[in-house]
Structure 1
Amino acid sequence: MRTAIMTDTNSGITTEEGKSLGIFVIPMPIIIDDKVYYEGINITEKEFYEALTGGKNLSTSQPSPGEVMDMWDSILESGDYDQVVYIPMSSGLSNSCSAAMGLALEYEDKVFVADNHRISVTMRESVLSAKELADEGKSGAEIKKALEDDAYNSSIYISVNTLEFLKKGGRITPAAAMIGTMLNIKPILTIQGEKLDSFAKARSMKKCQDKMLEALKSEIAGRFSHNDISRLKVGAAGAGLSEEEIENWLGMVKEAFPNAKVFYGPLSASIACHTGPGAVGIGISF
């Protein structure tokens, strides 16, 4: 069985990187002052952050049904693949997954949409695992089942450096944002397979990083204690970080998890729209 793997840029895999990995990647749309841009296609990371911090009106959207189906059709009509497994961002964070599942009904036994309940660095690992299974000759149905069975063997924490963008997105009230800014409070948020929830607060990004690392260590010793620790993968993430900031954060993560596979992945533009620049995150999966 020749099975193609497809995802979106919320996995942290760019369209260009996807080509080198043999993975099909659909870019997430970013709307800037009513004009639609596609991450990695017609807007650079530098241009995105300039718009984000330059007072322009930014919002996110999901790929249109036509864009998704056009990619499915292109893959299937190429003659290189019999099936497609599409891994969008978690259904708990966007309607794009449920929308794709509805579209896939027209592609019986050809397109399989996996609700892997992940995003960013943990979603990236799922996509890479799916590609390994596809290379082994697994069918779309088998890969979808494997991803969904393994979905909750992951955890994500993220801390934002500014409350401005959570306020813009309606996740906190203007009053809470004002008080938090005055007190220099940095919120730590968590994703445990579904929605984004509040986890803790700290007075500096360094304290946030320490809290996130300790939280994951506690989870590994607790709810993940039955997992094979040799399979632990840890992804550090950030939004618009400098090379020095990336190096420092990655160093902290490697020191905290010396025996794990550790890597860094920038947050996608459609995630950074909501976190703002300077956000740092971390995710684990097995």
Structure 2
Amino acid sequence: MEKIKLITDSTSDLTPELIKKYDIHVLPLTVHIGSQSFKDGESISLEEMYQGVLNGGPFPTTSQVNPQEFHDVYKQYLDEGYKIISVHISSHLSGTLQSAVIAKDMLETEDVTIIDTEGVSGVIFLSLVEAGEMILRGKSFPEVVEAIQKTAKEVKLLATFDTLEFLAKGGRIPKSVGAIGGFLGIKPLISLKDGKLEMMDKVRGNKKALSALKAFIDNTPVREGSKVVVINSLDSETNRAVIKHLEDKGIGYYEIQVGCVLGVHAGPKLVGVFCLSA
């Protein structure tokens, strides 16, 4: 049987249980706050990071996984006889994928396949769950690669943000779009298109934003055996109401708080729903 190793980055938001179950190696991106740097998921919490901003501290920035980190991890597993599938955040949202490509070129190997999911968080999450299950069932390397690529394309997202200030400051959306969020309680509804964040609609107030998320769940058939991924960046009434809606409908779900790297760009009280469509 082939030895297949799944590698990803911290924007996948995988739970410790799933990382252990599927033996996935997660490379963290980095958060910078003033002169200090923190690996995603280590040393600093979302609450602490946001509190620092609210208290007038420096606005956090983020940086990608660097090529040397990828090189060292790839070499470790290649030396152990693995073929590697490296699954990452959209190249339009981070330079992490480019670092992976550089590392592969440095190693001059064909035993590393790098996949741009053209997504983030739940897109990568659901793709890796699918891949992990296939590897446990003994599926071949090409079959697993094909499944990841197919799954990533079929994950649908709708997210609502309490503020777009963080996305705008991080350059992930135009500042003109970011200004909309603070105007008369407007809540933009964001999705992914061609690997980029796109505003699908805008509604006024949290109640209408919640209604939009519920309608998205109701109108997106979920693939049999898959669960919905609900992400948040600090708990909120909207997040809890989405979870209750899923429970009332008997839909299985993963509830995930995003890491600090995504939290930098999302701002507090993000709620996003990812569904692997049938």
Q: What's the counterpart of residue 30 of structure 1? A: 31
Q: What's the counterpart of residue 69 of structure 1? A: 71
- Which shows bigger deviation, 4-13 or 130-139? 130-139
For normalisation by structure 1, the TM-score amounts to 0.84
CA shift, 1:237, in A, is: 1.2
Q: What's the counterpart of residue 83 of structure 2? A: 83
| Inter-partner Cα distance in structure 1 for 2:49 and 2:192 | 25
Taking every aligned residue pair, what percent have the same amino acid on both sides? 25
8 Å Cα contact 1:11/1:89 also seen in 2: yes
| Inter-partner Cα distance in structure 1 for 2:29 and 2:239 | 24
Matches within 5 A, 1:1-286: 1-13=2-14, 18-19=19-20, 21-55=22-56, 56-77=58-79, 79=80, 81-105=81-105, 106-170=107-171, 171-173=173-175, 177=178, 180-192=181-193, 194-220=195-221, 229-241=223-235, 246-255=239-248, 258-286=249-277
CA shift, 1:213, in A, is: 2.7
Write out per-residue CA displacement over residues 38-74 of structure 1, whole angstroms, 9 at most, x where no aligned residue. 0122323433333343332211111011111112222
8 Å Cα contact 1:230/1:260 also seen in 2: no
Q: Which runs of 5+ in 2 are unaligned?
A: none
Write out per-residue CA displacement over residues 15-45 of structure 1, whole angstroms, 9 at most, x where no aligned residue. 6862454211111111111432101223234
| Inter-partner Cα distance in structure 1 for 2:76 and 2:68 | 12
Q: Give RMSD over aligned pairs.
A: 2.6
Q: Which runs of 5+ in 1 are unaligned?
A: 221-227
CA shift, 1:125, in A, is: 1.4
Q: What's the counterpart of residue 223 of structure 1? A: none
Structure-2 change in CA distance of 1:104 and 1:178 (3 Å): closer
- Which shows bigger deviation, 83-92 or 163-172? 163-172
CA shift, 1:113, in A, is: 1.0
Write out per-residue CA displacement over residues 153-200 of structure 1, whole angstroms, 9 at most, x where no aligned residue. 1111111102321332242436x6556424111111111452100111
- Which shows bigger deviation, 106-115 or 65-74? 106-115
Q: Secondary structure at the match of 2:116?
A: coil
CA shift, 1:272, in A, is: 1.5
8 Å Cα contact 1:151/1:193 also seen in 2: no
| Inter-partner Cα distance in structure 1 for 2:220 and 2:45 | 36
Q: What's the counterpart of residue 225 of structure 1? A: none
| Inter-partner Cα distance in structure 1 for 2:225 and 2:16 | 27
